[in-house]
Chains A and B, each alone.
Chain A
Amino acid sequence: MEKIIAGKIINMTEDGYLIKSSEWTIDVARELAHEEGLLLLPEHFRVIEFLRHLHASNQNITLRQISKSNVADIKTLYELFPGAPLKKAARIAGIPKPTSCV
């Protein structure tokens, strides 16, 4: 489905993930974060950029990858993206819904 986010028409899945990660911009991220009740800080952007990097290089998208890379430890990830950190961060980062079980 198409949705207007930050003044742009964006293709999204039913559960709110971007279909083309190339349509992502920082403003899109801010608006998606706003929907989740989050105001993005530089710490959020470090995680988002790292997730986009993992996605672009076709690597596993897991919380452990993020913590192993020293971008943010697990506890911080739960604080930055409360509730469901991996799903929320992936949605805001404009990458597909994570399919990993860890």
Chain B
Amino acid sequence: MENEPSPLKKVCIVCSKGSLEDVYAALVLTNGAVMEGMEAYLFFTFFGLDAITKKQMNHLRTATLGNPSLRMPGGVAFPSLLGFLPGVESGVSFMMKKRMDELDIPPVDEFLEMITAGGGKIYACKLALDMFKLQKKDLWEGISGVLTVGEFYEKSGGSSTQIIFV
């Protein structure tokens, strides 16, 4: 039996990691939902908080150690030992950001502004804030609030809603 078409209406995305690629995956998913006219919530927890911490948000990096998918330009595997050297991680992250800019993918703060300008909401996790001894004043001003896990689930109700974990 074929299912009735039921378009997605709402997505709640949890980002628990702070590396460049994980944060961008969450940002692209959220912004994409907003651009399709869906309700979208993006909830940052644990290391994901870096993406909305003023000091860190525009300095996210991609790991050069323990990242088997990392390759040199041309496709040769990235030698793990290189990843130890000072400046290599910054260089690789700089290259990633440059590539993204060419594709019109904005820096983190601008991306967050695009999401909220379209009506998407950004939240921080209360437990993770307490754990990292961060306060609301350390966070990007555009967030809609600090939530407990219970409040997150309250926001995630309704049919045609999906929760996505990054």
B-binding residues in A (CB < 8 A): 60, 62-65, 67, 73-75, 78, 82-87, 100-102
Contact = CB atoms under 8 A, between A and B. Distances in A.
Interface stretch (B56-64, B89-97, B99-107, B132-140): B99-107
Interface of B: 28, 31-32, 35-37, 103-106, 110, 113-114, 117-119
Contacts of A78: 117-119
A102 B118 contact: no
B21 to A, nearest CB: 14
A75 B35 contact: no
A60 B103 contact: yes
Given A84-B37, A85-B35, A86-B35, A75 B117 contact: yes
8 contacts: A64-B104, A64-B114, A74-B114, A74-B118, A78-B117, A84-B35, A101-B28, A102-B103
B119 to A, nearest CB: 7
A91 to B, nearest CB: 13
Contact of B117 (A74, A82, A84): A74
Q: Which 7 A-B pairs have CB atoms at the shortest separation, nearest pair first?
A: A83-B37, A74-B117, A75-B117, A84-B37, A62-B104, A78-B118, A60-B104
B118 A65 contact: no
A1 B37 CA distance: 26
Contacts of B106: 64, 102
A102 B36 contact: no
